[in-house]
Structure 1
Amino acid sequence: MGREKNSSGAGDPARTLELLWREGGTPPTSRRGPRQGLTVDAVVDAAIALADEGGLDALTMRAVAQRLGVTPMTLYTYVPGKAEMLDLMLDTVFLRMPRAGFADGGPWRARVTAVADENRALYLRHPWVVELRVHRPPLGPGVMSKYEHELAALEGLGLDDVTIDSALTHVLGFVLVAARTELDARAVDRESALSDGEWWAAHEPLLNRVFDESRFPLAARVGEASAVAYGGLYSPDHAYAFGLARVLDGLAALLPRG
Protein backbone atom coordinates (compact mmCIF):
# COMPACT_ATOMS: atom_id res chain seq x y z
CA MET A 1 0.00 0.00 0.00
CA GLY A 2 1.97 2.98 -1.28
CA ARG A 3 1.91 6.64 -0.39
CA GLU A 4 -0.72 7.36 -3.04
CA LYS A 5 -3.19 5.33 -0.97
CA ASN A 6 -2.79 7.55 2.08
CA SER A 7 -5.93 9.63 1.59
CA SER A 8 -9.04 10.12 3.64
CA GLY A 9 -12.39 9.18 2.15
CA ALA A 10 -10.95 6.43 -0.06
CA GLY A 11 -12.78 3.53 1.56
CA ASP A 12 -16.31 2.20 1.29
CA PRO A 13 -18.50 5.16 2.43
CA ALA A 14 -21.29 3.10 3.99
CA ARG A 15 -18.95 0.79 5.90
CA THR A 16 -16.77 3.70 7.02
CA LEU A 17 -19.70 5.70 8.38
CA GLU A 18 -21.02 2.61 10.14
CA LEU A 19 -17.67 2.16 11.86
CA LEU A 20 -17.20 5.85 12.64
CA TRP A 21 -20.51 6.11 14.45
CA ARG A 22 -20.24 2.80 16.29
CA GLU A 23 -21.03 2.66 20.00
CA GLY A 24 -18.90 1.01 22.63
CA GLY A 25 -15.99 0.34 20.28
CA THR A 26 -17.41 -2.96 19.00
CA PRO A 27 -18.09 -3.84 15.38
CA PRO A 28 -21.50 -2.49 14.29
CA THR A 29 -22.61 -5.97 13.20
CA SER A 30 -22.05 -9.26 14.95
CA ARG A 31 -18.83 -10.91 13.75
CA ARG A 32 -17.04 -13.95 15.03
CA GLY A 33 -13.31 -14.12 15.59
CA PRO A 34 -10.78 -16.13 17.57
CA ARG A 35 -9.72 -13.15 19.72
CA GLN A 36 -12.45 -12.42 22.26
CA GLY A 37 -12.30 -8.94 23.72
CA LEU A 38 -10.77 -7.34 20.62
CA THR A 39 -12.65 -4.20 19.61
CA VAL A 40 -12.56 -1.65 16.82
CA ASP A 41 -11.14 0.83 19.33
CA ALA A 42 -8.27 -1.52 20.16
CA VAL A 43 -7.54 -2.03 16.47
CA VAL A 44 -7.52 1.72 15.80
CA ASP A 45 -5.32 2.40 18.85
CA ALA A 46 -2.77 -0.14 17.58
CA ALA A 47 -2.80 1.47 14.13
CA ILE A 48 -2.30 4.95 15.61
CA ALA A 49 0.63 3.70 17.70
CA LEU A 50 2.27 2.19 14.60
CA ALA A 51 1.84 5.37 12.59
CA ASP A 52 3.14 7.50 15.47
CA GLU A 53 6.28 5.37 15.56
CA GLY A 54 7.00 4.89 11.87
CA GLY A 55 4.69 7.08 9.80
CA LEU A 56 2.10 5.94 7.30
CA ASP A 57 4.63 3.86 5.36
CA ALA A 58 4.89 1.60 8.42
CA LEU A 59 1.13 1.16 8.60
CA THR A 60 -0.15 -2.04 7.02
CA MET A 61 -2.99 -4.32 8.03
CA ARG A 62 -0.45 -7.11 8.58
CA ALA A 63 1.63 -4.91 10.90
CA VAL A 64 -1.46 -3.95 12.92
CA ALA A 65 -2.45 -7.62 13.19
CA GLN A 66 1.03 -8.56 14.40
CA ARG A 67 0.93 -5.83 17.02
CA LEU A 68 -2.38 -7.19 18.31
CA GLY A 69 -1.30 -10.82 18.11
CA VAL A 70 -3.98 -11.85 15.63
CA THR A 71 -4.00 -12.96 12.01
CA PRO A 72 -4.70 -10.42 9.25
CA MET A 73 -7.92 -12.25 8.43
CA THR A 74 -9.13 -11.69 11.99
CA LEU A 75 -8.33 -7.99 11.68
CA TYR A 76 -10.41 -7.69 8.53
CA THR A 77 -13.50 -8.76 10.49
CA TYR A 78 -13.18 -5.51 12.47
CA VAL A 79 -11.88 -3.05 9.86
CA PRO A 80 -12.25 -3.96 6.16
CA GLY A 81 -9.04 -2.32 4.90
CA LYS A 82 -6.38 0.35 5.22
CA ALA A 83 -8.56 3.05 3.63
CA GLU A 84 -11.21 2.66 6.30
CA MET A 85 -8.50 2.37 8.96
CA LEU A 86 -7.06 5.75 8.02
CA ASP A 87 -10.46 7.41 8.39
CA LEU A 88 -10.96 5.79 11.79
CA MET A 89 -7.50 6.86 12.94
CA LEU A 90 -7.99 10.46 11.86
CA ASP A 91 -11.42 10.74 13.44
CA THR A 92 -10.12 9.19 16.66
CA VAL A 93 -7.22 11.62 17.12
CA PHE A 94 -9.57 14.50 16.32
CA LEU A 95 -12.05 13.27 18.93
CA ARG A 96 -9.33 13.04 21.59
CA MET A 97 -7.84 16.50 20.98
CA PRO A 98 -7.71 18.69 24.08
CA ARG A 99 -10.01 21.65 23.45
CA ALA A 100 -10.12 25.08 25.07
CA GLY A 101 -13.46 26.24 26.46
CA PHE A 102 -15.15 29.21 24.81
CA ALA A 103 -18.23 29.30 27.01
CA ASP A 104 -17.07 32.48 28.76
CA GLY A 105 -16.22 34.23 25.52
CA GLY A 106 -12.94 36.09 25.75
CA PRO A 107 -11.03 38.01 23.07
CA TRP A 108 -11.49 36.51 19.62
CA ARG A 109 -7.75 36.51 18.96
CA ALA A 110 -7.18 34.35 22.02
CA ARG A 111 -9.90 31.95 20.89
CA VAL A 112 -8.51 31.58 17.37
CA THR A 113 -4.98 31.27 18.74
CA ALA A 114 -6.17 28.42 20.97
CA VAL A 115 -7.60 26.63 17.92
CA ALA A 116 -4.35 27.10 16.02
CA ASP A 117 -2.26 25.89 18.98
CA GLU A 118 -4.45 22.82 19.40
CA ASN A 119 -3.95 21.84 15.78
CA ARG A 120 -0.21 22.46 15.87
CA ALA A 121 0.08 20.26 18.96
CA LEU A 122 -1.91 17.52 17.23
CA TYR A 123 0.37 17.53 14.17
CA LEU A 124 3.53 17.41 16.29
CA ARG A 125 2.09 14.62 18.43
CA HIS A 126 0.87 12.61 15.41
CA PRO A 127 3.10 13.60 12.44
CA TRP A 128 1.37 11.08 10.16
CA VAL A 129 -1.69 13.34 10.11
CA VAL A 130 0.38 15.82 8.09
CA GLU A 131 1.22 13.04 5.61
CA LEU A 132 -2.45 12.16 5.14
CA ARG A 133 -4.30 13.86 2.31
CA VAL A 134 -7.55 15.08 3.85
CA HIS A 135 -9.61 16.50 1.00
CA ARG A 136 -12.69 14.52 2.02
CA PRO A 137 -12.55 14.16 5.82
CA PRO A 138 -14.41 11.30 7.45
CA LEU A 139 -17.69 12.66 8.80
CA GLY A 140 -17.39 10.94 12.16
CA PRO A 141 -17.89 12.25 15.69
CA GLY A 142 -14.28 13.40 15.92
CA VAL A 143 -14.38 15.50 12.76
CA MET A 144 -17.76 16.96 13.59
CA SER A 145 -16.94 17.82 17.22
CA LYS A 146 -13.67 19.43 16.10
CA TYR A 147 -15.46 21.51 13.48
CA GLU A 148 -18.19 22.57 15.93
CA HIS A 149 -15.59 23.59 18.51
CA GLU A 150 -13.45 25.55 16.07
CA LEU A 151 -16.39 27.41 14.53
CA ALA A 152 -17.27 28.63 18.03
CA ALA A 153 -13.99 30.56 18.10
CA LEU A 154 -15.32 32.75 15.27
CA GLU A 155 -18.97 32.88 16.29
CA GLY A 156 -20.46 36.22 17.32
CA LEU A 157 -18.01 38.39 15.39
CA GLY A 158 -20.52 39.64 12.84
CA LEU A 159 -19.25 37.40 10.05
CA ASP A 160 -21.61 35.50 7.75
CA ASP A 161 -21.50 31.71 7.80
CA VAL A 162 -19.49 31.31 4.60
CA THR A 163 -16.88 33.79 5.83
CA ILE A 164 -16.66 31.97 9.17
CA ASP A 165 -15.96 28.70 7.37
CA SER A 166 -13.44 30.36 5.02
CA ALA A 167 -11.65 32.08 7.90
CA LEU A 168 -11.33 28.79 9.77
CA THR A 169 -10.01 27.05 6.65
CA HIS A 170 -7.43 29.83 6.25
CA VAL A 171 -6.22 29.49 9.85
CA LEU A 172 -5.98 25.71 9.70
CA GLY A 173 -4.19 25.87 6.35
CA PHE A 174 -1.51 28.10 7.83
CA VAL A 175 -1.06 25.77 10.81
CA LEU A 176 -0.74 22.72 8.54
CA VAL A 177 1.99 24.34 6.44
CA ALA A 178 3.83 25.58 9.54
CA ALA A 179 3.69 22.13 11.13
CA ARG A 180 4.84 20.41 7.94
CA THR A 181 7.84 22.75 7.72
CA GLU A 182 8.70 22.14 11.38
CA LEU A 183 8.43 18.37 10.98
CA ASP A 184 10.62 18.51 7.86
CA ALA A 185 13.25 20.43 9.82
CA ARG A 186 13.11 17.84 12.60
CA ALA A 187 13.52 15.06 10.07
CA VAL A 188 16.59 16.75 8.55
CA ASP A 189 18.16 17.14 12.01
CA ARG A 190 17.41 13.51 12.81
CA GLU A 191 18.66 12.08 9.52
CA SER A 192 21.82 14.19 9.40
CA ALA A 193 22.54 13.69 13.11
CA LEU A 194 23.44 17.40 13.22
CA SER A 195 21.66 20.33 14.83
CA ASP A 196 21.43 23.63 12.93
CA GLY A 197 24.25 24.98 15.05
CA GLU A 198 26.49 21.99 14.34
CA TRP A 199 25.68 22.11 10.61
CA TRP A 200 26.52 25.82 10.47
CA ALA A 201 29.78 25.34 12.38
CA ALA A 202 30.82 22.67 9.88
CA HIS A 203 30.03 24.78 6.81
CA GLU A 204 30.87 28.29 7.97
CA PRO A 205 34.64 28.17 7.22
CA LEU A 206 34.02 27.21 3.57
CA LEU A 207 31.16 29.69 3.19
CA ASN A 208 33.35 32.50 4.53
CA ARG A 209 35.90 31.76 1.80
CA VAL A 210 33.45 31.74 -1.12
CA PHE A 211 30.75 34.20 -0.01
CA ASP A 212 31.25 37.82 -1.07
CA GLU A 213 29.28 40.10 1.25
CA SER A 214 29.74 43.09 -1.06
CA ARG A 215 27.93 41.19 -3.82
CA PHE A 216 25.03 40.13 -1.58
CA PRO A 217 24.84 42.89 1.05
CA LEU A 218 21.16 42.40 1.94
CA ALA A 219 21.51 38.64 2.21
CA ALA A 220 24.56 39.05 4.44
CA ARG A 221 22.94 41.62 6.73
CA VAL A 222 19.50 40.05 7.05
CA GLY A 223 20.85 36.51 7.20
CA GLU A 224 23.21 37.34 10.04
CA ALA A 225 20.54 39.21 12.02
CA SER A 226 18.08 36.35 11.57
CA ALA A 227 20.58 33.68 12.54
CA VAL A 228 21.32 35.55 15.76
CA ALA A 229 17.61 36.04 16.51
CA TYR A 230 16.69 32.43 15.75
CA GLY A 231 19.73 30.89 17.36
CA GLY A 232 20.34 29.01 14.10
CA LEU A 233 19.10 28.72 10.56
CA TYR A 234 15.42 28.43 11.46
CA SER A 235 13.16 28.80 14.47
CA PRO A 236 9.83 26.96 14.17
CA ASP A 237 8.42 28.75 17.19
CA HIS A 238 9.29 32.17 15.76
CA ALA A 239 7.95 31.28 12.31
CA TYR A 240 4.70 29.99 13.79
CA ALA A 241 4.15 32.96 16.10
CA PHE A 242 5.00 35.51 13.40
CA GLY A 243 2.82 33.84 10.79
CA LEU A 244 -0.16 33.36 13.08
CA ALA A 245 -0.04 37.02 14.11
CA ARG A 246 -0.23 38.02 10.43
CA VAL A 247 -3.13 35.61 9.87
CA LEU A 248 -4.99 37.19 12.80
CA ASP A 249 -4.27 40.67 11.46
CA GLY A 250 -5.79 39.64 8.16
CA LEU A 251 -8.93 38.29 9.86
CA ALA A 252 -9.26 41.50 11.84
CA ALA A 253 -9.74 43.38 8.59
CA LEU A 254 -12.88 41.31 7.94
CA LEU A 255 -14.60 42.25 11.18
CA PRO A 256 -17.32 44.93 11.21
CA ARG A 257 -16.09 48.15 12.75
CA GLY A 258 -17.09 48.58 16.37
Structure 2
Amino acid sequence: MTSEEGLPAGLRRLWGLSEPARLGRPAELDVRRVVAAAVELADRDGLAGVTLPKVAKELGFTSMSLYRYIGSKDELLVLMRDAGLGPPPPEITRDAKSWRDGLRRWADDERHAYLRRPWLARVPLSGPPSGPNEIARMEVALAVLRDTGLDWAAKVGVLALVSGYVRHSALLFQDLAHGRAEGVDQAGAERDYGRALAKLVEPDRFPETAKLFASPLFETPDQEADYDFTFGLELILDGVEVTVRRADERS
Protein backbone atom coordinates (compact mmCIF):
# COMPACT_ATOMS: atom_id res chain seq x y z
CA MET A 1 0.00 0.00 0.00
CA THR A 2 1.51 3.33 -1.09
CA SER A 3 1.42 6.45 1.06
CA GLU A 4 -1.29 7.90 -1.22
CA GLU A 5 -3.67 4.98 -0.92
CA GLY A 6 -6.48 5.26 1.58
CA LEU A 7 -6.61 9.07 1.46
CA PRO A 8 -10.06 10.67 1.24
CA ALA A 9 -11.02 11.54 -2.32
CA GLY A 10 -11.36 15.25 -1.50
CA LEU A 11 -7.86 15.39 -0.05
CA ARG A 12 -6.45 13.59 -3.06
CA ARG A 13 -8.03 16.14 -5.37
CA LEU A 14 -6.81 19.03 -3.22
CA TRP A 15 -3.23 17.80 -3.55
CA GLY A 16 -3.56 17.06 -7.26
CA LEU A 17 -3.05 13.33 -6.86
CA SER A 18 -4.13 11.23 -9.80
CA GLU A 19 -7.42 9.41 -9.51
CA PRO A 20 -7.62 5.70 -10.23
CA ALA A 21 -7.82 5.05 -13.97
CA ARG A 22 -11.30 4.63 -15.43
CA LEU A 23 -12.33 2.47 -18.34
CA GLY A 24 -13.59 4.20 -21.47
CA ARG A 25 -12.65 7.45 -23.17
CA PRO A 26 -10.07 9.77 -21.55
CA ALA A 27 -11.60 12.45 -19.35
CA GLU A 28 -12.23 15.75 -21.11
CA LEU A 29 -12.04 17.69 -17.85
CA ASP A 30 -9.85 17.60 -14.78
CA VAL A 31 -9.93 19.12 -11.31
CA ARG A 32 -7.41 21.79 -12.22
CA ARG A 33 -9.56 23.15 -15.07
CA VAL A 34 -12.69 23.16 -12.93
CA VAL A 35 -10.98 25.05 -10.11
CA ALA A 36 -9.34 27.52 -12.51
CA ALA A 37 -12.73 28.31 -14.05
CA ALA A 38 -14.29 28.78 -10.60
CA VAL A 39 -11.48 31.11 -9.48
CA GLU A 40 -11.87 33.15 -12.67
CA LEU A 41 -15.59 33.47 -12.00
CA ALA A 42 -14.96 34.57 -8.40
CA ASP A 43 -12.39 37.14 -9.54
CA ARG A 44 -14.95 38.54 -11.96
CA ASP A 45 -18.26 38.22 -10.11
CA GLY A 46 -17.36 37.60 -6.46
CA LEU A 47 -17.96 34.47 -4.44
CA ALA A 48 -21.74 34.71 -4.85
CA GLY A 49 -21.22 34.41 -8.60
CA VAL A 50 -19.71 30.94 -8.30
CA THR A 51 -22.23 28.14 -8.71
CA LEU A 52 -21.71 24.71 -10.18
CA PRO A 53 -24.06 25.48 -13.11
CA LYS A 54 -22.10 28.66 -13.90
CA VAL A 55 -18.75 26.88 -13.66
CA ALA A 56 -20.06 24.13 -15.92
CA LYS A 57 -21.30 26.69 -18.44
CA GLU A 58 -17.90 28.40 -18.50
CA LEU A 59 -16.33 25.05 -19.35
CA GLY A 60 -19.00 24.00 -21.82
CA PHE A 61 -20.22 21.04 -19.78
CA THR A 62 -23.32 20.11 -17.80
CA SER A 63 -23.52 20.63 -14.03
CA MET A 64 -23.80 16.90 -13.41
CA SER A 65 -20.57 16.24 -15.30
CA LEU A 66 -18.64 18.31 -12.73
CA TYR A 67 -19.44 15.82 -9.98
CA ARG A 68 -16.99 13.40 -11.59
CA TYR A 69 -14.25 15.83 -10.58
CA ILE A 70 -15.65 17.82 -7.62
CA GLY A 71 -17.51 16.09 -4.82
CA SER A 72 -19.61 19.12 -3.81
CA LYS A 73 -19.82 22.91 -3.79
CA ASP A 74 -18.17 22.89 -0.34
CA GLU A 75 -15.23 20.93 -1.71
CA LEU A 76 -14.96 23.33 -4.62
CA LEU A 77 -14.66 26.23 -2.16
CA VAL A 78 -11.81 24.47 -0.34
CA LEU A 79 -10.03 23.92 -3.66
CA MET A 80 -10.65 27.53 -4.70
CA ARG A 81 -9.26 28.93 -1.46
CA ASP A 82 -6.02 26.99 -1.75
CA ALA A 83 -5.61 27.88 -5.43
CA GLY A 84 -6.58 31.52 -4.86
CA LEU A 85 -4.11 32.03 -2.03
CA GLY A 86 -1.23 30.59 -4.00
CA PRO A 87 2.17 29.75 -2.52
CA PRO A 88 4.06 32.13 -0.22
CA PRO A 89 6.98 34.08 -1.66
CA PRO A 90 10.35 32.53 -0.73
CA GLU A 91 11.79 35.87 0.36
CA ILE A 92 9.75 35.81 3.58
CA THR A 93 12.12 33.32 5.19
CA ARG A 94 15.10 34.37 3.10
CA ASP A 95 14.98 38.07 4.02
CA ALA A 96 13.40 37.99 7.49
CA LYS A 97 15.72 39.66 10.03
CA SER A 98 13.97 38.08 13.03
CA TRP A 99 10.93 35.98 13.89
CA ARG A 100 8.95 39.20 14.35
CA ASP A 101 9.98 40.57 10.98
CA GLY A 102 9.19 37.20 9.41
CA LEU A 103 5.71 37.03 10.93
CA ARG A 104 5.07 40.61 9.85
CA ARG A 105 6.05 39.77 6.27
CA TRP A 106 3.92 36.61 6.43
CA ALA A 107 0.87 38.55 7.60
CA ASP A 108 1.40 41.28 5.00
CA ASP A 109 1.60 38.73 2.20
CA GLU A 110 -1.59 37.02 3.35
CA ARG A 111 -3.34 40.38 3.58
CA HIS A 112 -2.34 41.31 0.05
CA ALA A 113 -3.75 37.99 -1.16
CA TYR A 114 -7.09 39.03 0.35
CA LEU A 115 -6.81 42.49 -1.23
CA ARG A 116 -6.07 41.00 -4.65
CA ARG A 117 -8.97 38.57 -4.35
CA PRO A 118 -11.58 39.94 -1.91
CA TRP A 119 -13.70 36.80 -2.23
CA LEU A 120 -10.98 34.74 -0.51
CA ALA A 121 -11.83 36.19 2.92
CA ARG A 122 -15.46 35.17 2.42
CA VAL A 123 -14.79 31.50 1.74
CA PRO A 124 -16.16 29.66 4.82
CA LEU A 125 -13.42 27.92 6.81
CA SER A 126 -14.44 24.29 7.21
CA GLY A 127 -11.30 23.02 8.92
CA PRO A 128 -7.59 23.57 9.53
CA PRO A 129 -5.18 24.23 6.64
CA SER A 130 -5.00 21.15 4.43
CA GLY A 131 -4.12 22.20 0.87
CA PRO A 132 -0.58 22.38 -0.54
CA ASN A 133 -0.50 26.18 -0.70
CA GLU A 134 -1.92 26.56 2.81
CA ILE A 135 0.59 24.03 4.13
CA ALA A 136 3.39 25.88 2.33
CA ARG A 137 2.29 29.05 4.10
CA MET A 138 2.21 27.21 7.40
CA GLU A 139 5.71 25.93 6.73
CA VAL A 140 7.00 29.48 6.21
CA ALA A 141 5.44 30.72 9.46
CA LEU A 142 6.76 27.74 11.43
CA ALA A 143 10.20 28.32 9.93
CA VAL A 144 10.34 31.92 11.13
CA LEU A 145 9.30 30.74 14.62
CA ARG A 146 11.78 27.86 14.64
CA ASP A 147 14.31 29.41 17.01
CA THR A 148 11.88 31.06 19.41
CA GLY A 149 11.66 28.29 22.00
CA LEU A 150 7.87 28.12 21.64
CA ASP A 151 6.41 24.62 21.77
CA TRP A 152 4.27 23.29 18.93
CA ALA A 153 0.97 24.22 20.57
CA ALA A 154 2.13 27.80 21.06
CA LYS A 155 3.38 28.06 17.48
CA VAL A 156 0.08 26.81 16.11
CA GLY A 157 -1.73 29.23 18.40
CA VAL A 158 0.34 32.14 17.10
CA LEU A 159 -0.39 31.17 13.50
CA ALA A 160 -4.12 30.88 14.20
CA LEU A 161 -4.16 34.26 15.96
CA VAL A 162 -2.26 36.14 13.26
CA SER A 163 -4.04 34.55 10.30
CA GLY A 164 -7.41 35.09 11.98
CA TYR A 165 -6.59 38.75 12.54
CA VAL A 166 -5.56 39.19 8.90
CA ARG A 167 -8.75 37.57 7.61
CA HIS A 168 -10.97 39.59 9.96
CA SER A 169 -9.23 42.82 8.95
CA ALA A 170 -9.81 42.03 5.28
CA LEU A 171 -13.51 41.40 5.90
CA LEU A 172 -13.85 44.60 7.94
CA PHE A 173 -12.12 46.60 5.21
CA GLN A 174 -14.53 45.21 2.60
CA ASP A 175 -17.61 45.81 4.74
CA LEU A 176 -16.67 49.41 5.51
CA ALA A 177 -15.89 50.10 1.86
CA HIS A 178 -19.23 48.59 0.83
CA GLY A 179 -21.08 50.73 3.39
CA ARG A 180 -19.58 54.03 2.24
CA ALA A 181 -21.54 56.27 -0.05
CA GLU A 182 -20.43 56.20 -3.65
CA GLY A 183 -17.60 58.62 -4.32
CA VAL A 184 -16.66 58.99 -0.63
CA ASP A 185 -13.21 57.79 0.32
CA GLN A 186 -12.19 56.46 3.72
CA ALA A 187 -10.87 59.81 4.96
CA GLY A 188 -14.08 61.57 3.96
CA ALA A 189 -16.21 58.89 5.58
CA GLU A 190 -14.27 59.25 8.83
CA ARG A 191 -14.69 63.03 8.82
CA ASP A 192 -18.43 62.73 8.21
CA TYR A 193 -18.70 60.13 10.96
CA GLY A 194 -16.81 62.26 13.47
CA ARG A 195 -18.78 65.41 12.73
CA ALA A 196 -22.15 63.64 12.96
CA LEU A 197 -21.37 61.84 16.22
CA ALA A 198 -19.90 65.00 17.77
CA LYS A 199 -23.39 66.51 17.52
CA LEU A 200 -25.07 63.50 19.12
CA VAL A 201 -22.68 62.37 21.86
CA GLU A 202 -23.40 64.39 24.99
CA PRO A 203 -20.49 64.96 27.42
CA ASP A 204 -22.71 64.41 30.48
CA ARG A 205 -23.75 60.98 29.24
CA PHE A 206 -20.60 59.86 27.39
CA PRO A 207 -17.75 61.98 28.79
CA GLU A 208 -14.79 60.06 27.35
CA THR A 209 -16.42 59.40 23.99
CA ALA A 210 -17.36 63.07 23.72
CA LYS A 211 -13.68 63.97 24.22
CA LEU A 212 -12.80 61.51 21.44
CA PHE A 213 -15.16 63.14 18.94
CA ALA A 214 -14.03 66.61 20.01
CA SER A 215 -10.40 65.67 19.28
CA PRO A 216 -8.71 66.29 15.90
CA LEU A 217 -8.66 62.55 15.14
CA PHE A 218 -11.61 62.52 12.76
CA GLU A 219 -10.98 65.95 11.28
CA THR A 220 -7.49 65.01 10.13
CA PRO A 221 -7.64 61.30 9.23
CA ASP A 222 -4.47 61.52 7.19
CA GLN A 223 -2.76 58.49 8.67
CA GLU A 224 -1.36 56.00 6.21
CA ALA A 225 -3.97 53.72 4.69
CA ASP A 226 -2.64 50.65 6.49
CA TYR A 227 -2.37 52.30 9.91
CA ASP A 228 -5.21 50.41 11.58
CA PHE A 229 -4.02 47.06 10.26
CA THR A 230 -0.40 47.72 11.20
CA PHE A 231 -1.31 48.99 14.66
CA GLY A 232 -3.35 45.88 15.44
CA LEU A 233 -0.71 43.54 14.05
CA GLU A 234 2.03 45.16 16.13
CA LEU A 235 -0.11 44.78 19.27
CA ILE A 236 -0.44 41.07 18.53
CA LEU A 237 3.29 40.73 17.87
CA ASP A 238 3.98 42.50 21.17
CA GLY A 239 1.99 39.78 22.89
CA VAL A 240 3.81 37.06 20.97
CA GLU A 241 7.11 38.64 22.01
CA VAL A 242 6.17 38.36 25.68
CA THR A 243 5.27 34.70 25.16
CA VAL A 244 8.54 34.05 23.33
CA ARG A 245 10.50 35.70 26.13
CA ARG A 246 8.80 33.53 28.74
CA ALA A 247 9.49 30.41 26.71
CA ASP A 248 13.16 31.37 26.44
CA GLU A 249 13.36 31.96 30.19
CA ARG A 250 11.86 28.53 30.92
CA SER A 251 14.29 26.82 28.61
Normalising by the residue count of structure 1, what TM-score does the alignment of the two structures yield?
A: 0.77
Alpha carbons 2:86, 2:133 under 8 Å: kept: yes
Q: Does 1:251 align with 2:240?
A: yes
More off after superposition, 240-249 vs 75-84:
75-84
1:29/1:187 CA distance change after superposition, 3 Å: farther
| From 182, 201, 208, the counterpart of 2:173 | 182
Using CA pairs under 8 Å that are at least 6 residues apart, name the structure with larger relative contact order, 1 or 2.
Answer: 1
Q: Distance in 1 between matches of 2:199 and 2:8?
A: 64
Question: 1:239 — aligned with what?
Answer: 228
Q: Distance in 2 between matches of 1:126 and 1:201?
A: 28
Question: 1:109 — aligned with what?
Answer: 100
More off after superposition, 241-250 vs 44-53:
44-53
Question: 2:14 — aligned with what?
Answer: 20
1:55-74 matches, within 5 Å, as 55-74=46-65
1:117: how far off?
A: 0.5
Q: Distance in 2 between matches of 1:252 and 1:179?
A: 24
Question: 2:127 — aligned with what?
Answer: 136
1:79/1:215 CA distance change after superposition, 3 Å: closer
1:142: how far off?
A: 1.9
Alpha carbons 1:27, 1:78 under 8 Å: kept: no
Alpha carbons 2:198, 2:210 under 8 Å: kept: no
1:191-210 matches, within 5 Å, as 192-197=182-187, 199=189
Q: Does 1:226 align with 2:226?
A: no
Q: Distance in 1 between matches of 2:194 and 2:230?
A: 28
Q: Distance in 2 between matches of 1:31 and 1:64?
A: 26
Q: Deviations over 1:197-255 (max 9, x none)?
A: 555677888767656567655434423422145249xx761110111111111111112
Q: Structure 2: where are the runs of 5+ without partners?
A: 1-6
Alpha carbons 1:95, 1:145 under 8 Å: kept: no
Question: Structure 1: which amino acid aligns with 2:185?
Answer: S
Q: Distance in 1 between matches of 2:72 and 2:103?
A: 36
Question: 1:88 — aligned with what?
Answer: 79
Alpha carbons 1:18, 1:28 under 8 Å: kept: no
1:74: how far off?
A: 2.8
Percent same amino acid at aligned positions?
A: 30
Question: 1:45 — aligned with what?
Answer: 36
Question: Structure 1: which amino acid aligns with 2:134?
Answer: V
Q: Distance in 1 between matches of 2:196 and 2:169?
A: 31
1:62: how far off?
A: 0.3
Question: Structure 2: which amino acid aligns with 1:87?
Answer: V
Question: Structure 2: which amino acid aligns with 1:173?
Answer: G
RMSD, aligned CA: 3.3
1:19/1:209 CA distance change after superposition, 3 Å: closer
Alpha carbons 1:90, 1:129 under 8 Å: kept: yes
Aligned residues: 240
1:29: how far off?
A: 4.0
1:104/1:35 CA distance change after superposition, 3 Å: closer
Q: Distance in 1 between matches of 2:219 and 2:23?
A: 61
Q: Distance in 2 between matches of 1:101 and 1:207?
A: 43
Q: Does 1:170 align with 2:168?
A: no
